[in-house]
Protein backbone atom coordinates (compact mmCIF):
# COMPACT_ATOMS: atom_id res chain seq x y z
CA UNK A 1 0.00 0.00 0.00
CA UNK A 2 1.09 3.28 -0.84
CA UNK A 3 1.06 5.93 1.76
CA UNK A 4 0.70 9.43 0.77
CA UNK A 5 2.93 12.12 2.17
CA UNK A 6 0.47 14.84 1.43
CA UNK A 7 -0.66 16.66 4.50
CA UNK A 8 -4.46 16.74 4.54
CA UNK A 9 -4.49 20.08 6.34
CA UNK A 10 -2.86 21.98 3.49
CA UNK A 11 -4.76 20.33 0.68
CA UNK A 12 -8.31 20.78 1.86
CA UNK A 13 -10.29 22.86 -0.63
CA UNK A 14 -11.56 25.32 1.99
CA UNK A 15 -8.08 26.27 3.18
CA UNK A 16 -6.41 26.81 -0.17
CA UNK A 17 -5.85 30.51 -0.83
CA UNK A 18 -4.93 31.86 -4.16
CA UNK A 19 -2.75 34.97 -4.44
CA UNK A 20 -5.80 37.03 -5.49
CA UNK A 21 -7.73 36.01 -2.40
CA UNK A 22 -4.75 36.79 -0.20
CA UNK A 23 -4.37 40.27 -1.74
CA UNK A 24 -8.09 40.92 -1.36
CA UNK A 25 -7.97 39.93 2.31
CA UNK A 26 -4.99 42.20 2.98
CA UNK A 27 -6.71 45.05 1.12
CA UNK A 28 -9.94 44.65 3.12
CA UNK A 29 -8.04 44.50 6.41
CA UNK A 30 -6.09 47.65 5.49
CA UNK A 31 -9.31 49.39 4.49
CA UNK A 32 -10.92 48.39 7.78
CA UNK A 33 -7.89 49.66 9.70
CA UNK A 34 -7.97 53.00 7.84
CA UNK A 35 -11.72 53.37 8.48
CA UNK A 36 -11.22 52.73 12.20
CA UNK A 37 -8.36 55.21 12.35
CA UNK A 38 -10.46 57.83 10.54
CA UNK A 39 -13.37 57.29 12.94
CA UNK A 40 -11.12 57.67 15.99
CA UNK A 41 -9.44 60.75 14.50
CA UNK A 42 -12.82 62.27 13.65
CA UNK A 43 -14.05 61.72 17.18
CA UNK A 44 -11.05 63.44 18.74
CA UNK A 45 -10.91 66.23 16.16
CA UNK A 46 -14.60 66.93 16.66
CA UNK A 47 -13.96 67.50 20.36
CA UNK A 48 -10.86 69.53 19.55
CA UNK A 49 -12.67 71.84 17.15
CA UNK A 50 -15.67 72.15 19.44
CA UNK A 51 -13.47 73.34 22.30
CA UNK A 52 -11.30 75.24 19.84
CA UNK A 53 -14.20 77.47 18.80
CA UNK A 54 -14.63 78.67 22.37
CA UNK A 55 -10.90 79.05 22.86
CA UNK A 56 -10.52 80.95 19.58
CA UNK A 57 -13.30 83.35 20.52
CA UNK A 58 -11.61 84.03 23.83
CA UNK A 59 -8.04 84.07 22.57
CA UNK A 60 -8.62 86.54 19.73
CA UNK A 61 -7.78 89.89 21.23
CA UNK A 62 -10.39 92.55 20.83
CA UNK A 63 -9.41 95.49 18.69
CA UNK A 64 -8.23 98.51 20.60
CA UNK A 65 -10.98 101.07 21.09
CA UNK A 66 -10.83 104.17 18.93
CA UNK A 67 -11.68 107.45 20.64
CA UNK A 68 -12.20 110.96 19.35
CA UNK A 69 -12.04 113.77 21.89
CA UNK A 70 -14.20 116.80 21.20
CA UNK A 71 -13.11 120.17 22.59
CA UNK A 72 -14.91 120.98 25.85
CA UNK A 73 -17.96 123.17 25.42
CA UNK A 74 -20.04 125.35 27.66
CA UNK A 75 -23.77 125.68 27.12
CA UNK A 76 -26.48 127.66 28.88
CA UNK A 77 -29.19 125.48 30.34
CA UNK A 78 -32.91 126.20 30.41
CA UNK A 79 -33.55 128.66 33.21
CA UNK A 80 -36.03 128.00 35.97
CA UNK A 81 -35.25 130.75 38.41
CA UNK A 82 -31.47 131.14 38.05
CA UNK A 83 -29.05 131.12 35.17
CA UNK A 84 -27.03 127.93 35.04
CA UNK A 85 -24.54 126.55 32.59
CA UNK A 86 -22.93 123.23 31.83
CA UNK A 87 -19.27 122.83 30.97
CA UNK A 88 -18.74 119.40 29.44
CA UNK A 89 -15.96 117.54 27.67
CA UNK A 90 -17.08 114.81 25.32
CA UNK A 91 -15.21 111.80 23.99
CA UNK A 92 -16.73 109.61 21.29
CA UNK A 93 -15.92 105.95 20.83
CA UNK A 94 -16.21 104.79 17.21
CA UNK A 95 -16.14 101.35 15.62
CA UNK A 96 -13.20 101.75 13.25
CA UNK A 97 -10.86 104.22 11.57
CA UNK A 98 -13.30 104.79 8.72
CA UNK A 99 -15.90 105.95 11.24
CA UNK A 100 -13.23 108.15 12.86
CA UNK A 101 -12.58 109.81 9.50
CA UNK A 102 -16.32 110.46 9.10
CA UNK A 103 -16.46 112.02 12.57
CA UNK A 104 -13.59 114.35 11.64
CA UNK A 105 -15.32 115.37 8.41
CA UNK A 106 -18.65 116.14 10.13
CA UNK A 107 -17.17 117.65 13.30
CA UNK A 108 -18.92 121.07 12.97
CA UNK A 109 -22.30 119.38 12.59
CA UNK A 110 -21.50 117.02 15.45
CA UNK A 111 -20.73 119.87 17.84
CA UNK A 112 -23.87 121.69 16.72
CA UNK A 113 -26.04 118.63 17.42
CA UNK A 114 -24.38 118.16 20.79
CA UNK A 115 -25.04 121.79 21.76
CA UNK A 116 -28.69 121.43 20.75
CA UNK A 117 -29.14 118.34 22.91
CA UNK A 118 -27.19 119.75 25.87
CA UNK A 119 -28.83 123.18 25.93
CA UNK A 120 -32.29 121.65 25.84
CA UNK A 121 -31.92 120.47 29.44
CA UNK A 122 -32.82 121.76 32.84
CA UNK A 123 -30.13 121.65 35.51
CA UNK A 124 -32.27 119.58 37.88
CA UNK A 125 -32.16 116.72 35.37
CA UNK A 126 -28.36 116.53 35.18
CA UNK A 127 -27.45 115.74 38.76
CA UNK A 128 -27.59 111.94 39.18
CA UNK A 129 -25.61 109.28 37.35
CA UNK A 130 -28.86 108.07 35.74
CA UNK A 131 -29.48 111.56 34.37
CA UNK A 132 -25.99 111.63 32.86
CA UNK A 133 -26.50 108.18 31.33
CA UNK A 134 -29.78 109.34 29.77
CA UNK A 135 -28.01 112.42 28.43
CA UNK A 136 -25.27 110.26 26.92
CA UNK A 137 -27.91 108.07 25.26
CA UNK A 138 -29.67 111.11 23.80
CA UNK A 139 -26.40 112.54 22.47
CA UNK A 140 -25.55 109.14 20.98
CA UNK A 141 -28.93 108.88 19.26
CA UNK A 142 -28.60 112.42 17.88
CA UNK A 143 -25.09 111.81 16.56
CA UNK A 144 -25.88 108.49 14.91
CA UNK A 145 -28.55 110.10 12.72
CA UNK A 146 -27.31 110.41 9.11
CA UNK A 147 -26.04 113.85 8.15
CA UNK A 148 -27.36 113.68 4.62
CA UNK A 149 -29.97 111.94 2.52
CA UNK A 150 -27.63 109.24 1.22
CA UNK A 151 -25.15 109.25 4.11
CA UNK A 152 -24.71 106.31 6.49
CA UNK A 153 -24.71 106.79 10.25
CA UNK A 154 -21.38 107.60 11.90
CA UNK A 155 -21.15 104.29 13.81
CA UNK A 156 -20.50 105.90 17.17
CA UNK A 157 -20.55 103.25 19.88
CA UNK A 158 -20.62 105.36 23.01
CA UNK A 159 -20.46 108.91 24.34
CA UNK A 160 -18.26 109.60 27.37
CA UNK A 161 -18.12 112.66 29.59
CA UNK A 162 -14.58 113.02 31.00
CA UNK A 163 -15.42 116.58 32.11
CA UNK A 164 -18.86 117.38 33.49
CA UNK A 165 -19.31 120.57 35.50
CA UNK A 166 -22.69 122.03 36.30
CA UNK A 167 -22.83 125.61 37.71
User: What residue spans define the domains of the chain?
Assistant: 18-59, 66-166
- Report helix angle 107-119 to 97-105, nearest 10: 80
pTM: 0.59
Q: pLDDT by residue (tens digit) across 72-108? A: 999 888 877 778 888 999 999 998 888 889 889 889 9
Which residues are CB-contacts of 90 (< 8 A; sequence separation ≥ 6)? Answer: 69, 70, 72, 73, 114, 139, 159, 160, 161, 162
Question: What's the pLDDT band for 56 if we cut at 50, 70, 90?
Answer: low
Sign of the CA dihedral with 126 first, then 129, 135, and 139 last: positive
CATH no. of 66-166: 3.30.479
75 by DSSP, 3-state: which?
A: strand
Helix (H) / strand (E) containing 30: helix 19-59
Amino acid sequence: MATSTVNPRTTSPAKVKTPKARKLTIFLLALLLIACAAAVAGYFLRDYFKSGENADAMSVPAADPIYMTIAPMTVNLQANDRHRFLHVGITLRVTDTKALDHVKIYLPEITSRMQMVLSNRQSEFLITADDKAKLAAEVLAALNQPFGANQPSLKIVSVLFPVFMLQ
